[in-house]
């Protein structure tokens, strides 16, 4: 919504109209981008940054703090350009002299370069960075004689190290993914033939292909919609960065990413091909699947728990998948599961919940406290995993609009009394090892406890299932 103000009317940060200011806050709260702005560019000392991070809307507090020093919108625009954060720049563009708009356009043209650098940038070993110097708010300099702002090499380095600070350790060799020429992927899928379509997701279509004599699944992302201020670029940047990091944490229950392509009509990601598709496909008996036996269901539950607890425990801080659901659990030829779709994965805190600015994920798999209070923790994954256990044990969908009264599977399961529980069993799974049903359902109930502190950590869930 344009407010109609111009750059001559809105000079200082405190003049920013409410709408644009709150949109800017949303962008900068995402992934804690405001921290780089505050620490590296505004030179706010670490203590203040830590205080701000406890606020519900830290960017808004930051703007108030910095705005009190009579800083201008143009100054902010320049700092954002140094961060390559043109999603944020777009929000305040109309309050900046048009001669500076080139800074956004250049950033836009450099999207490919940025994604390349995300994918190829070596990630340093995890180490405690030296504390940011406690510098009081200095006045901005950094305008070249021609009026075009620049950042000093030292500032650029500081920015890079501040961005890298949030990443997990990766050996350099593992951080680099080979790039595939787009034409090769086109040929691998017989020119993106409809016969090779495996499925469609929110951001693209997945094709089966044969590339370098290897079966692969190629996700071809939609071509970018027009307009610089859409969510598409954010989505691309996040998924490329996060997929790269998580993929490098190779594990038998995490879907490997082989390659990517950025030199064609649409960005592509090349994954290991999973011949049995997703657990959702199998439970819905798509593509000629037969019902899973109880033993297979146990193996899938166990492997999925193994993958999630690995993510939660491998780094100093847990990685939270954020979108555990049957559609994101892929099955290999032996029906062993691998977790896919790390587009929403985020780094959490070891001992405390993290406040997020935006709820992402899939509603029937998300607990109330996350939807209400936006508190992210490993227990979000535990809850979503519990819903998958309900799907495995009852054979029912996590959400079914045609189910009378209880559309969400969680509500449906909770509505049954203890003695009637066996009536919920998926009868198509056969008689052998029927006791798996009860185990999955009870662990599912435990994982979906309404109080997050009453839910188990996934490591414990894995051990429980493994001992059965």
Ligand X SMILES: Nc1ncnc2c1ncn2[C@@H]1O[C@H](COP(=O)(O)OP(=O)(O)OP(=O)(O)O)[C@@H](O)[C@H]1O
Comparison of 243 and 425: residue with beta carbon closer to ligand X = 243
One residue of 191, 202, 227, 404 binding ligand X per CB under 6 A:
202
One residue of 63, 76, 175, 198 binding ligand X per CB under 6 A:
198
Query: Considering only 9-17, 143-151, 275-283, 302-310, which stretch makes contact with ligand X by CB under 6 A?
Result: 275-283
Alpha helices in 289-431 (DSSP H): 294-313, 368-373, 378-394, 409-414
| Alpha-carbon dihedral angle through residues 278, 280, 286, 291, given to the nearest 10 degrees | 100
Comparison of 191 and 202: residue with beta carbon closer to ligand X = 202
312 touches ligand X (CB under 6 A)? no
Closest contact distance (angstroms) between CB of 366 and ligand X is 13
Alpha helices in 314-455 (DSSP H): 368-373, 378-394, 409-414, 435-447
Specify whether the CB–CB gap between 66 and 42 falls below 8 A. Answer: yes
- 346-347 and 375-376 strand pairing: unpaired
Specify whether the CB–CB gap between 52 and 38 falls below 8 A. Answer: yes
Closest contact distance (angstroms) between CB of 154 and ligand X is 40
Comparison of 41 and 271: residue with beta carbon closer to ligand X = 271
Query: Considering only 90-98, 324-332, 431-439, 446-454, which stretch makes contact with ligand X by CB under 6 A?
Result: 324-332
Active site residue 323: yes
H/E stretch holding 214: strand 214-221
Specify whether the CB–CB gap between 270 and 193 falls below 8 A. Answer: no
- 346-347 and 214-221 strand pairing: unpaired
206 touches ligand X (CB under 6 A)? yes
One residue of 48, 72, 81, 328 binding ligand X per CB under 6 A:
328
First to last CA, the chain: 57
Identify which of 247, 390, 253, 394 has the alpha carbon closest to the alpha carbon of residue 335: 253
- What are residue 217's DSSP bridge partners? 208, 271
Closest contact distance (angstroms) between CB of 217 and ligand X is 3
Is 219 labelled a binding residue?
yes
330 touches ligand X (CB under 6 A)? yes
273 touches ligand X (CB under 6 A)? yes
277 touches ligand X (CB under 6 A)? yes
189 touches ligand X (CB under 6 A)? no
- Supply the DSSP string of 122-168, one letter for each residue: PPPPP-PPPPPP----PPP--B-TTS-B---HHHHHHHHHHHHTTSP
Residues 84, 323, 381, 426: which is the catalytic one?
323
Comparison of 130 and 202: residue with beta carbon closer to ligand X = 202
CA distance 301 to 177: 30
Closest contact distance (angstroms) between CB of 325 and ligand X is 8
Query: Considering only 144-152, 167-175, 193-201, 406-414, which stretch makes contact with ligand X by CB under 6 A?
Result: 193-201
Closest contact distance (angstroms) between CB of 25 and ligand X is 26
Q: Provide Rg for the chain, Cα atoms.
A: 24
Binding mask 232-271 for ligand X (x = CB under 6 A): -----------------------x---------------x
Q: C-alpha distances in angstroms, 182 versus 86, 96, 211, 385?
A: 27, 39, 11, 36
Closest contact distance (angstroms) between CB of 280 and ligand X is 6
274 touches ligand X (CB under 6 A)? yes
Closest contact distance (angstroms) between CB of 197 and ligand X is 8
Specify whether the CB–CB gap between 27 and 88 falls below 8 A. Answer: yes
Query: Considering only 142-150, 273-281, 418-426, 455-463, which stretch makes contact with ligand X by CB under 6 A?
Result: 273-281
Q: Mind spelling out the 3-state secondary structure of 255-290?
A: CCEEEEECCCCCCEEEEECCCCCEHHHHHCCHHHCC
**How many residues sit in the footprint of ligand X (CB under 6 A)?**
23
One residue of 60, 281, 353, 391 binding ligand X per CB under 6 A:
281
- The residues annotated as belonging to the active site are 323
- Annotated binding-site residues for ATP read 219
- Annotated binding-site residues read 219
Residues that bind ligand X (CB under 6 A): 198-204, 206, 217, 219, 255, 271-274, 277-278, 281, 327-328, 330, 340-341
């Amino acid at each position: 919504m344009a407010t109609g103000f111009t750059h001559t009317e809105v000079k200082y940060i405190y003049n920013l109209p409410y709408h644009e200011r709150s949109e800017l806050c949303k962008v900068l709260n995402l992934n804690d981008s405001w921290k780089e702005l505050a620490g590296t560019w505004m030179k706010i000392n670490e203590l203040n940054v830590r205080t701000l991070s406890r606020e519900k809307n830290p960017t808004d507090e930051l703007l108030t703090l910095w705005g009190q020093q009579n800083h201008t919108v143009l100054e902010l625009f320049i700092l954002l350009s140094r961060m390559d954060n043109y999603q944020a720049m777009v929000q305040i563009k109309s309050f900046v002299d048009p001669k500076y708009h080139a800074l956004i356009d250049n950033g836009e043209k450099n999207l490919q370069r940025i994604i390349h650098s995300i994918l190829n940038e070596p990630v340093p070993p995890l180490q405690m960075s030296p504390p940011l110097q406690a510098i009081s708010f200095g006045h901005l300099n950094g305008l070249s004689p021609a009026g075009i702002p620049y950042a000093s090499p030292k500032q650029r380095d500081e920015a890079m190290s501040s961005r890298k600070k949030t990443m997990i350790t990766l050996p350099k060799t593992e951080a680099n993914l080979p790039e595939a020429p787009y034409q090769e992927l086109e040929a691998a899928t017989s020119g993106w033939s409809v016969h090779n379509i495996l499925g469609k997701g929110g951001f693209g279509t997945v094709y089966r292909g044969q590339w370098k004599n290897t079966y692969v699944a190629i996700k071809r992302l939609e071509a970018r919609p027009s307009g610089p201020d859409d969510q598409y670029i954010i989505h691309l940047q996040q998924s490329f960065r996060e997929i790269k990091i998580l993929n490098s944490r190779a594990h038998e229950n995490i879907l490997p990413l082989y390659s990517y392509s950025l030199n064609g009509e649409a960005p592509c990601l090349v994954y290991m091909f999973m011949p049995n598709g997703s657990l959702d496909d199998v439970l819905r008996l798509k593509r000629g699947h037969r019902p899973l036996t109880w033993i297979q269901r146990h193996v899938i539950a166990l492997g999925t728990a193994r993958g999630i607890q690995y993510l939660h425990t491998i780094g100093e801080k847990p990685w939270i998948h954020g979108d555990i659901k049957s559609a994101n659990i892929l099955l290999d030829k032996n029906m062993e599961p691998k977790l896919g779709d790390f587009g929403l994965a985020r780094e959490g805190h070891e001992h405390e919940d993290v406040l997020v600015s935006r709820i992402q994920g899939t509603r029937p798999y998300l607990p109330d406290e996350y939807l209400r209070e936006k508190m992210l923790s490993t227990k979000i994954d535990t809850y979503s995993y519990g819903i998958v256990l309900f799907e495995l044990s009852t054979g029912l969908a996590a959400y079914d609009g045609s189910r009378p009264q209880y559309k969400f599977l969680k509500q449906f399961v909770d509505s049954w009394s203890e003695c009637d529980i066996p009536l919920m069993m998926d009868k198509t799974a056969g008689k052998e090892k029927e006791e798996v049903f009860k185990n999955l359902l009870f662990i599912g109930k435990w994982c979906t406890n309404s109080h997050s502190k009453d839910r188990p950590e996934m490591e414990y869930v894995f051990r429980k299932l493994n001992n059965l």
